[in-house]
Amino acid sequence: MRYSDLMNSLHPDTVLRAAETLDSIAHRTPIFTSRTLDDRFGAKFFFKGEHLQRCGAFKFRGAYYAISRLNPDERARGVITFSSGNHASGMALGGALLGAPVTVAMPTNTAPIKRKAAAGYGAELVDCEASEREAVGERIAKERGLTVIPPYDHDDVIAGQGTAALELLEDQPDLDLLLTPLGGGGLLAGTCLAAQAGIGEGPPPNVIGVEPEVADDGARSFHSGRIVRLETVPETIADGLRTRYVGERNFAVFSQRLTDVVTVSEAAIGSALAHLWLRMKLLTEPSAAVPLAAILEGKIDVRGRRVGIILSGGNCDPRAAAELIDRAVSL
C-alpha cells in the first residue's frame, strides 16, 4: 500500500471516534507542572501523566480500541501481538475486558515487571528473541487462526494512542509544542493526528518526536524521507523504545505532519528520569523521560512557549532505574 493510501485512512476524526469509545474506559490522566522547569527554561510545561493510565501506560488506549473494533467471532478466537511489555499488558487487560483471549510473543529480555503485568492480566506469553518476535507472532497467528494486533503499525492502535494528546489539548488548549517519545511511532502518529483536530483557538501545536541516540531509526527516517531500519535491536535504558524501525502507517502520518525528530543521550535520559522521580515525584519509566531529556540537553528551543509532554508509562525495572538515577545524580 502506498503512503498516500495509508494517510487517507488516518485523519483527526479517527482519533475523535476512538475517544468516544474510550470515554469512561481509559483513565483521563492528570496533568502535572513544574515551577522549577518553568523558571529554568522560561517556558510553561504540562506533563500528561500516562504512567497513571490503566496498565501503567498509554498503550492501553490503542490496545483496547483495536480489540473493541473486532467482530464477535474474531474476539472469541483470540488475538496475538508481539511486544516487549506495555502493549502486551494493554492487550491483556483489553482482552480480559472484552472477552478476547490474548497471546503475546514476548522477547526474553523484557523487563520482569512488564512480563509479570501481562501474565497477571491473563495473557499467554510465548518467549522468543527480540529480533524474531514478529515472525513468531505471525506463525502462531496462522497456526491458531488468531487476529494479529501489532504494537504500533495499525490504524486503530494509532487512533487510540492519539486520545492521550487529545485530552491534553482539551485540558490545556493553545499549546505551542507537543513532545512524545518515539519508538515504533504509534503515540507520535496519533499525537500528530490529535494536534490537527482543531482543539483551541490558535494554530495547531508543533509536534516533535524524541528518541535515544542509540535508537535513532526514527530520526534517520524522518530526515531522509524513507523508513530506515537498524541492523540490530538497540540497547538503551529506554526499553520501551527498543524498536529497529517505525511502522509504515506511522511514518505515513508523521512524515507529513511532524515538525522534527531529535535524539538524546543515555546520560540525559538518566538526568530527566532523576528530575521526574526526585523533584516531581513522578515514578515514570525511562522511556517517558526521553522528551524531558531533549529539553535538558538543549535540543529543543522552548523559551517563551507552552510545552506539552506525554509521560508515556511507568512500568520500569526499579533496580535498573535506581542505578540510572544514582549515576545521574552522582555526576
Residue range(s) defining the domain that contains residue 266: 3-57+154-330
**Shared domain check, 238 and 134:** no
Whole-model pTM? 0.94
Cα 53 vs. chain centroid, distance in angstroms? 12
**Shared domain check, 76 and 42:** no
Task: Return the pLDDT at 5.
Answer: 54
Q: Do 16 and 166 touch, CB atoms closer than 8 A?
A: yes
The total number of structural domains that make up the chain: 2
Per-residue confidence at 262, pLDDT binned at 50, 70, 90? very high
Question: Residue 129 is part of a domain; what is its CATH number?
Answer: 3.40.50.1100
**Mean pLDDT value across residues 214-228:** 96
Residue 97 has pLDDT above 60, yes or no: yes
Task: Return the pLDDT at 1.
Answer: 43
Task: Return the pLDDT at 3.
Answer: 47
Task: Return the pLDDT at 91.
Answer: 97
**Mean pLDDT value across residues 106-116:** 84
**Mean pLDDT value across residues 181-205:** 93
Task: Return the pLDDT at 6.
Answer: 53
Cα 230 vs. chain centroid, distance in angstroms? 19
- Per-residue pLDDT tens over the stretch 28-64: 999 999 999 999 999 999 999 999 999 999 999 999 9
Residue 294 has pLDDT above 50, yes or no: yes
Concerning whether 59 is annotated as a catalytic residue, the answer is: yes
Cα 314 vs. chain centroid, distance in angstroms? 12
**Shared domain check, 167 and 115:** no
Residue 257 has pLDDT above 60, yes or no: yes
Residue 198 has pLDDT above 90, yes or no: no
- Per-residue pLDDT tens over the stretch 57-82: 999 999 999 999 999 999 999 999 99
Catalytic residue among 68, 255, 287, 312: 312
Cα atoms in the 13 Å half-sphere on the side-chain side of 147: 21
Q: Which of 114, 148, 182 is the last residue of a domain?
A: 148
What is the DSSP code string of 183-236? SSSHHHHHHHHHHTS--SSSPPPEEEEEEEGGGTHHHHHHHHTS----SS----
Label the pairing between strands 31-32 and 44-49.
antiparallel
The three-state secondary structure class of 70 is coil
In order of 92, 131, 149, the CA distances from 134 in angstroms are: 18, 8, 11
Q: Do 95 and 101 touch, CB atoms closer than 8 A?
A: yes
**Shared domain check, 322 and 285:** yes
Q: Which of 103, 124, 148 is the last residue of a domain?
A: 148
**Shared domain check, 298 and 178:** yes
**Shared domain check, 107 and 89:** yes
Residue 73, Cβ neighbours under 10 Å: how many?
A: 8
Residue 260, Cβ neighbours under 10 Å: how many?
A: 15
Beta-bridge partner residues of 261:
209
Q: Which of 69-73, 128-132, 244-248 has the lowest mean pLDDT?
A: 128-132
What Rg, from alpha-carbon coordinates, does the chain have?
Answer: 18
**Shared domain check, 285 and 201:** yes
**Mean pLDDT value across residues 133-162:** 95
**Shared domain check, 324 and 203:** yes
- Strand stretches in the chain, DSSP E: 31-32, 44-49, 79-82, 102-107, 124-128, 147-148, 177-181, 206-212, 260-264, 306-311
Task: Return the pLDDT at 21.
Answer: 98
**Shared domain check, 24 and 103:** no
Task: Return the pLDDT at 319.
Answer: 80
Q: Which of 148, 168, 188 is the last residue of a domain?
A: 148
Q: How far apart are CA 159 and CA 193, in angstroms?
A: 8
Catalytic residue among 44, 48, 59, 299: 59
Residue 93 has pLDDT above 50, yes or no: yes
Task: Return the pLDDT at 159.
Answer: 98
**Shared domain check, 102 and 86:** yes
**Shared domain check, 159 and 15:** yes
Concerning whether 312 is annotated as a catalytic residue, the answer is: yes
**Shared domain check, 159 and 143:** no
